[in-house]
Amino acid sequence: MDEARPSRRKSITPPGVTESTAQIDMGVLPHLMGYMLRQAQLLVYQDFHHAVAAGSPGIRPPQFSILEVVNRNPGLRPSDVATALGISRANLVPLLTDLATLGWLRRVDDETDGRAQSLHLTPLGATQLEDLRAKILPHEDRLATRLGPVGRDMLLLLLHALTTPDGETPSSGQK
């Protein structure tokens, strides 16, 4: 019985997200933004890992985002970082602790508000962040070559439009 499917050959197709599914009907999945966003994000995250893992173990996208935001906004508070990156305060704590343990980030108790802290990058953290950018940007550029000359800008524009609630102005967000 069974064998509703003809010819199950052992045609092992190379790994990757969608390539090995050539003869499988994916149904509506390729038409769902959620599914395709997940696949794309997995791919880019793998690229991030390849770009960063060797040289900066333990640094993943969230850690990089924290470094970037704190570097651009010295003295920022954990609470603000959490809302800016969409991370809960509770989940931010161990990330900040790890970065502080590395000596890349300092937590300074606020003098006017006994509850608050001010976050700053150490000189080491600043140079490491530069190093991370120098690794990440080329890899993103390499991936972007799959999208054609204006594809990357178009993708970012669409993603901004998607994540921008409504009355925002995403038109001024490009470099």
Partner DNA sequence: TATTGTTATACTCTATAACTATA
Partner DNA sequence: TATAGTTATAGAGTATAACAATA
Using CB under 7 A, list all residues that contact DNA: 10, 12, 38, 42, 46, 58, 60-62, 77-79, 87-93, 95-97, 107, 112-117
Give me the least distance between CB of 80 and a second copy, in Å please: 6
Give me the least distance between CB of 54 and a second copy, in Å please: 18
Which of 98, 106, 107, 143 lies at the binding interface for a second copy (CB under 8 A)? Answer: 143
Picked from DNA, a second copy, none, the partner binding residue 21 (CB below 5 to 8 A depending on kind) is a second copy
Q: Which residues of 23-32 are buried (b: 16+ CB within 10 A; e: fewer)?
A: eeeeeeeeee
Picked from a second copy, DNA, none, the partner binding residue 115 (CB below 5 to 8 A depending on kind) is DNA
Q: Per-residue DSSP letters for 68-116?
A: HHHHHSTTB-HHHHHHHHT--HHHHHHHHHHHHHHTSEEEEE-SS-TT-
**Contact (CB, 8 A) for 59 and 142:** no
* Residues forming a β-bridge with 106: 120
Of 1 and 90, CB closest to DNA: 90
- Answer yes or no whether residue 144 interacts with a second copy by CB under 8 A: yes
How deeply is 44 buried, as exposed, middle or buried, from its count of CB atoms within 10 A (0-12, 13-18, 19+)?
A: middle
Scanning residues 60 to 99, which ones bind a second copy (CB under 8 A)? 61, 65, 68-69, 71-76, 80, 83-86
**Helix-then-strand count for the chain, H and E:** 6, 2
Give the number of other CB atoms < 10 A from CB of residue 93. 13
Picked from DNA, a second copy, none, the partner binding residue 159 (CB below 5 to 8 A depending on kind) is a second copy
DSSP state of 8: -
x/- letters, 112..141, toward a second copy (CB under 8 A): x-----x----x--x---x--x--xx--x-
Q: Which two tokens stand for residue 131?
A: 């190093």
Of 89 and 153, CB closest to DNA: 89
